[in-house]
Amino acid sequence: MIDETTALAERFVDAAWNRHDFATLDELAAPDFSVYYPLFPAPVKGASDFKKLLAEFRAGMPDLAFAFRHLATQDGTAIFRWDGSGTHTGELLGIPATGREVRWSGISVVEVAGGKVVKEWGEEDALSALRQLGVVPT
């Protein structure tokens, strides 16, 4: 049996990162929603800016996909481990297309309150991703 926090968080991260489902994002994101990962140039504030960032990721890696594995939920916070992959065929985060396939992993923490996602933040293996893109020497 999956609790309400886990179900909502799973639905949100899948809609955002895999299905590019902006209607679900609008439905589930709190008005003061924010998201942060070290690979991002700055914290993202609001669903509108998050959708722009997701569109940039999708344009830079059209085959972008994530496998989410639930680790734990406590109170209003769900934690996921994930593996991401995609082929860098367009500009992404200011990096010109390389045509390289990239695989990286990370952990996401999703905070839920009042039936809405308030925050998503995490840590990813950004160094590995940047090395695979040839941006950082190995």
Which residue ranges form the domains of the chain, and what is each CATH number?
4-132 (3.10.450.50)
- Flag residues of the chain having pLDDT under 70: 1
Interatomic CA distance for residues 27 and 46, integer angstroms: 13
3-class secondary-structure state, position 71: strand
Q: Is 136 helix (H, G, I), strand (E, B) or coil?
A: coil
> What is the pLDDT at residue 85?
97
- Phi/psi at 102 (5° precision): -125, 140
Handedness of CA 45, 46, 52, 53 (dihedral sign): positive
Residue 45 DSSP one-character state: E
CB 88 within 8 A of CB 96: no
Nearest-angstrom CA–CA distance, 138 and 127:
9
- Whole-prediction pTM: 0.91
> Residue 1: what pLDDT?
64
Q: Which two tokens stand for residue 49?
A: 């800016």
d(CA 15, CA 24) in angstroms, rounded, equals 6
